[in-house]
Chains A and B, each alone.
Chain A
Amino acid sequence: MGSLKIENVKKAFGPVEVLKGINLEVTDGEFVVFVGPSGCGKSTLLRVIAGLEDSTSGRVVIDGEDVSVTPPAKRGIAMVFQTYALYPHLTVKNNMGLGLKQASTPAAEIDRRIGIASSMLSLEPYLERRPAELSGGQRQRVAIGRAVVREPKLFLFDEPLSNLDAALRVNTRLEIAQLHRRLKATMIYVTHDQVEAMTLADKIVVLNAGRIEQIGGPMELYNSPANEFVAGFIGSPKMNFIDGARLGETAKTIGVRPEHLTVDTKSGAWKGTVVHAEHLGADTNLYLDCEKAGLITVRIFGVYNAEPGATLYATPEPGKTYRFGADGKVLK
């Protein structure tokens, strides 16, 4: 239970086409992350899956059943929103139980499920509070709990961590990962943050301007991006893109990740001047202005002392460069 199939889904708001033909299959128990820049249509796609938005054309199939005209409450899904979206007038307990109550679930069963969910998310002390009396992290846990008690076929998360501060974000991310392991449920998770995507996903769907750029596991996308967009989006700091002509290459663009460059004070492929150095302790990011390659980023593991203005040579590791054609696709 919990498979999803999206067939050629398109969505237009008036003349603006936001989704331009999405095809996707999610198997039972998978954790799928939709990632892409802001405004690329991730939330719209998620809302189409949830039934909160009608697609202009195409089909949504959950568990082998076409749900294109099924109302959201009947699709067997649960959703967690960026802004928590808790009912302000209800206690935590009633927030979690409302959906089940609407579906005429027996009170004992509702209590049982709330009990399980609240212990899973350490919400027991807060069951009688209202959302206004909770912190941001607690509110988001309640929202997750509200999804858990529905025991849905499909969990949908729309940027659930964006409103939390950095430390809480890491904690809650862990909690979501553990939740997935415990429930073995199918989860679809939307984010614009590639770190969240890499750390959580079994499968990442990279979206750009209403189209799927590539689907694959985190390491697959990192190691063999299909095109320039995916290569630039996955990985931090961003991959360096260098004009092929300047390096005397036939490819339009050459890509090399900052962590696949080594530096040396004496000799190397590209001579450059240090523009800025960022010392993060575990690693150091150097920004080099190279004569041949232009401004590039180099990531060095550990501490590296380099003053702005110093001359350094950067060399790409053999076999770790990517070649892109004029259409942005990877050249084999």
Chain B
Amino acid sequence: MSTATRSLPRTIGAHAILLTYTAIALFPVIIVIMNSFKSRAGIFGAPLTPPTPETFDLIGYTTVIGQGDFIHYFQNSLVVTVASLFFVLLFGAMAAFALSEYRFRGNTLMGLYLALGIMIPIRLGTVAILQLMVASGLVNTLTALVLVYTAQGLPLAVFILSEFMKQVSDDLKNAGRIDGLSEYTIFFRLVLPLVRPSMATVAVFTMIPIWNDLWFPLILAPSEETKTVTLGAQLFLGQFVTNWNAILAALSLAIMPVLILYVIFSRQLIRGITSGAVK
């Protein structure tokens, strides 16, 4: 069936491209998950085949769970990610609101300054950050990680959110002011709900690098108490022997929480995109 806007070859073409891309993007993930359910011999013998009754083995998972601390690593990762996300969204939105709402001297300059961090990787400052954490006694605490990740996530959050905040109706904010609402109430009750879709976008962009980061946990919080999942998984990565079953199992498990968070946010994302289009 072909209509004015749709023709069969075009539809097939578009789907072929999208399916190819999906396959390429999902391939490594599927390989990891598949092999995490196989025995060591199965992994090396036929890495690309799904687990068969002969090769099926839960040894990876039992090792990871049996290690005992892994649940704890998970908790650490989750605490760090959720806390950082919370602060990035809160402070990012507040800064964005101030930049887009109030006219003050140096407004543009301040906006540029806050956005500078998008271009300069925070890892360049690792040495100074480490010195700072040592001096303030925060080494080997989750607080150190939360602080660093909040700093890392803020520039992009401020940049994206201030663009969206500019689009919130001035009339609505002014109506609130005339009704005697405080600036905080206007921000939390009127503006934030309207920029929720863009907050979800920022949340997704912020969350994934934090969850996956190995660098700062290794440097700032490598102690047993504060290890995150990515750092914990290194345990199985020996110089001479690598426990592939355990690593693949750990990685598969590590995907889960971030996937759940993503699903939560992406529903907001899609709702935001479509609700803006047809008003």
If A88-B193, A89-B189 touch, does A79 touch B178 (CB 8 Å cutoff)?
A: yes
Contact (Cβ within 8 A) B178 A99: yes
Contact (Cβ within 8 A) B190 A87: yes
Contact (Cβ within 8 A) B193 A102: no
Number of A interface residues at 8 Å Cβ cutoff, please give it: 25
Most chain A beta carbons < 10 A, residue from B172, B175, B177: B175
Contact (Cβ within 8 A) A73 B177: yes
If A87-B190, A89-B193 touch, does A82 touch B179 (CB 8 Å cutoff)?
A: no
B-side contacts of A98, CB under 8 Å: 179, 181
Shortest beta-carbon distance from A96 to chain B in Å:
10
Mask: chain B, 229-261; 1 = CB below 8 Å from A; 0 = not: 000000000000000000000000000000000
Contact (Cβ within 8 A) B169 A50: no
Contact (Cβ within 8 A) A83 B169: yes
B-side contacts of A74, CB under 8 Å: 180
Contact (Cβ within 8 A) A99 B179: yes
What is the interface of chain B mostly: helix, strand, loop, or mixed?
A: helix
Mask: chain A, 67-107; 1 = CB below 8 Å from B; 0 = not: 00001111001110111111111000000001100110000
- A87–B194 Cα gap in the complex (Å)? 11
Q: Which residue of A lies closest to B174 (CB)?
A: A52
A47 contacts chain B at the CB level, 8 A cutoff? yes
- A81–B178 Cα gap in the complex (Å)? 12
If A83-B169, A87-B190, A89-B193 touch, does A102 touch B181 (CB 8 Å cutoff)?
A: yes
Shortest beta-carbon distance from B275 to chain A in Å:
10
B171 contacts chain A at the CB level, 8 A cutoff? yes
Contact (Cβ within 8 A) A103 B180: yes
Contact (Cβ within 8 A) B171 A73: no
- A85–B177 Cα gap in the complex (Å)? 12
B-side contacts of A77, CB under 8 Å: 178
Contact (Cβ within 8 A) A81 B171: yes
Mask: chain A, 97-140; 1 = CB below 8 Å from B; 0 = not: 01100110000000000000000000000000000000000000
A-side contacts of B175, CB under 8 Å: 79, 81, 85-87, 146
Q: List 25 A-B pairs, Cβ < 8 Å.
A: A50-B178, A72-B177, A73-B177, A73-B179, A73-B180, A79-B175, A79-B178, A81-B171, A81-B174, A81-B175, A82-B171, A83-B171, A84-B171, A85-B171, A85-B172, A85-B174, A86-B175, A87-B172, A87-B175, A87-B176, A87-B189, A89-B193, A98-B181, A102-B181, A158-B171
